[in-house]
Amino acid sequence: MQAFLTKYSLPIHLAILASAVLASLCVPLRYGGITVFILAVSAAEFVFLLPSVHTGETFVDARDRVWRGLVRDAFFYVGILGLLIALSQWLNSGCSLVYQPSANAWQMSLPPMPGLPFSVKTSTAGEVLNRSVAVFVAVCALRLAVGKRGKRKLFAVLGCVSGCIAVIMMFRTGANPGAVVPLPVGFLFGFWAIVGMGSYLGVCQEPENTGIHPLLVILGIGANTVGGLYFSNVFWAAVLLFLILVFAIYGFFFLARRSEAKQLMSYGCFFFLLSGGAILILGYFMPGNPIQRHFNFWMTVDLEEAWNIWSAAWRTRMDAALDIWKGHWGWGVGVDGFREFLGFSVTGKAWSAFKTDPGLVYNDCLQFLCEYGLAGFVLFLSAFLSLVIPVVFRSRSFLAQQGEAKGALDRRDFLRLDPFFFTGAFAVVLGIVQAWFASPFHAPGYCLSWMMVLASLPVFLPEVGD
């Protein structure tokens, strides 16, 4: 029991923390924000008291390693500054609309402390602050205190949790078509479907070290895939389906090189049974569901006209966000400020572009700039670079090592890489692309999931000399 606690107590706690954030999609807790904050603080305590102990280490050695890594970690300092901005937005919130007779117009009142980061609504700013603390703690823990096996188990479990939430939400909205569903949840389920492919192949590669049955992981993949198709718009549903097929073929070749024929047959059977089961359920037991509507749409739509309508609305939203940002370029307009300040920027026929999702720019990069200002945008970019640089460094080291040993790279060199690196890196890059054309980071739990996977990628690359 002691050996188990020293290795997996922190990953288990991170799994509970991430599951609490993901569960807010379908089980809104009365004190959900406080729950997430308490779990995050408790996880931070575990980072220093029970970090994962590497082979040959003692508790004292592991704690010293975590402290040394924390002092040298650029993300830690950038994250602290980001939390201070989020804290200021929460403390400096509470603005409201006031009428100015002299100008004969409505204006937003000044925050309690003008000149500092602010937010319009206190409750929204507090919710984002709690989730920001969760992201900060989870990323630091994964970078410094959780080993490779712990990460593999953690992501396999979270994929299953996300799949369960997708199933619950699909049945809930199927029973109540008028239920309100956050638009970007399809991106979240699609993200975990892609990441889950790497988790499944990793579990098959090391079944004795993970303790998780591959069937559970692939069921999670199926549930997340169907959830991603169900809750996404027609374009992103088609992209997700294509990517799942591509990674399924990659998984076949990966297992063909490393596994026995029995395991390869099981993989194929699982994949086709899940596909057939999903088609049967959605086609005959849930008629008129969004996936059927997507298919019917593709059969009848004028793609050029649909693209022109969407791109015009997209440009209108971005113009509005830029206009709002120009008036608050330093600190932005706070959490969900785009929705609150939209009426000061949009007039007349332009409102037709905001019939649905008026709080979303459909460009997370620009919306982050609008709501957090240039200071917040620079901090987020710095945090992103601090997580990407280790991935780039290890990738270059691997390519250089293989090039020196063989003189040239071939397909087998890439099949040697851990499959979680491929699927995780692709999911991260896909999130960046989606963030330019949509709002994936506004799905509860997406930012946490994306940052956790990005922070974990370096450990799934071979070290120099391996």
Residue 194 burial (CB count, 10 A): 27
The DSSP result for 302-371, as a single string, is -HHHHHHHHHHHHHHHHHHHHHHHHHSTTT-S-TTHHHHHGGGT--GGGGGGGSS-TT--S-HHHHHHHH
72: exposed, middle or buried (Cβ count in 10 Å: 0-12, 13-18, 19+): exposed
C-alpha distance from residue 5 to each of 150, 284, 299 (Å): 11, 47, 55
Asked if residues 367 and 437 have their Cβ atoms less than 8 Å apart, the reply is no
Side-chain half-sphere exposure of 91, counting CA atoms within 13 A? 10
Residue 180: which residues within 8 A CB-CB, separation 6 or more?
Answer: none
The amino acid at 56: G
Return the SS3 of 116.
Answer: coil
Q: Which residue has the higher pLDDT, 395 or 84?
A: 84
What local confidence, expressed as pLDDT, does residue 353 receive?
Answer: 77
- Residue 98 forms beta bridges with which residues? 107
When mean pLDDT is compared across 12-16, 150-154, 293-297, the lowest value belongs to: 293-297
pLDDT in tens, 303-346: 677 777 778 888 888 999 999 999 888 999 999 889 888 888 88
Residue 257 burial (CB count, 10 A): 12
Return the SS3 of 448.
Answer: helix
pLDDT in tens, 372-396: 999 999 999 999 999 999 998 888 8
pLDDT in tens, 32-67: 578 888 899 988 888 887 777 777 777 777 788 888
Give the residue from 217, 58, 198, 76 showing the smallest Cα distance to 138. Answer: 76
Mean pLDDT of 227-231: 82
Helix 148-175, helix 185-205: angle, nearest 10: 140
pLDDT in tens, 423-435: 999 999 999 998 9
pLDDT in tens, 235-247: 787 888 888 888 8
Domain residue ranges of the chain, discontinuous segments joined by +: 1-145, 148-301+363-466, 305-354
| CA 98/CA 15 separation, integer angstroms | 45
User: Residue 266's pLDDT band (boundaries 50, 70, 90)?
Assistant: low
Give the residue from 209, 145, 191, 220 showing the smallest Cα distance to 453. Answer: 191
pLDDT in tens, 150-168: 898 899 999 999 999 988 8
Degrees, nearest 5: CA angle 288-294-299: 105
What local confidence, expressed as pLDDT, does residue 178 receive?
Answer: 41
Give the residue from 12, 89, 6 showing the smallest Cα distance to 52. Answer: 6
Task: Examine the pLDDT at 8 and tell me if it is beyond 90.
Answer: no
pLDDT in tens, 194-213: 999 888 888 777 655 556 77
pTM of the model: 0.88
Residue written as token pair 């008028």: 178
Task: Examine the pLDDT at 179 and tell me if it is beyond 50.
Answer: no
What local confidence, expressed as pLDDT, does residue 212 receive?
Answer: 72
State the chain's mean pLDDT as an integer.
80
**Which one-letter DSSP state was computed for residue 99?**
E
Which long-range contacts does 425-429 make (Cβ < 8 Å, 24+ apart)? Answer: 425/391, 425/457, 426/194, 426/243, 426/247, 427/191, 427/194, 427/195, 427/453, 428/453, 428/454, 428/457
Task: Examine the pLDDT at 293 and tell me if it is beyond 80.
Answer: no
What local confidence, expressed as pLDDT, does residue 444 receive?
Answer: 77
**Which one-letter DSSP state was computed for residue 458?**
G
What local confidence, expressed as pLDDT, does residue 279 receive?
Answer: 60
| CA 160/CA 193 separation, integer angstroms | 10
When mean pLDDT is compared across 101-115, 298-312, 388-402, the lowest value belongs to: 298-312
412: exposed, middle or buried (Cβ count in 10 Å: 0-12, 13-18, 19+): exposed
Give the residue from 294, 289, 278, 277 showing the smallest Cα distance to 174. Answer: 289
Residue written as token pair 């991603």: 228
What local confidence, expressed as pLDDT, does residue 154 receive?
Answer: 92
Hey, what are 337's tokens?
């400020």
What local confidence, expressed as pLDDT, does residue 79 receive?
Answer: 94
Task: Examine the pLDDT at 177 and tell me if it is beyond 80.
Answer: no
User: Residue 134's pLDDT band (boundaries 50, 70, 90)?
Assistant: very high
Query: 338-374 burial, b for 16+ CB within 10 Å, e for fewer?
Result: bbbbbebbbeeeeeebbeeeeebbbbbbbbbbbbbbe
Residue 189: which residues within 8 A CB-CB, separation 6 or more?
Answer: 162, 163, 166, 223, 224, 225, 227, 228, 230, 231
Asked if residues 248 and 271 have their Cβ atoms less than 8 Å apart, the reply is yes
C-alpha distance from residue 219 to each of 159, 195, 212, 277, 334 (Å): 9, 13, 12, 11, 39
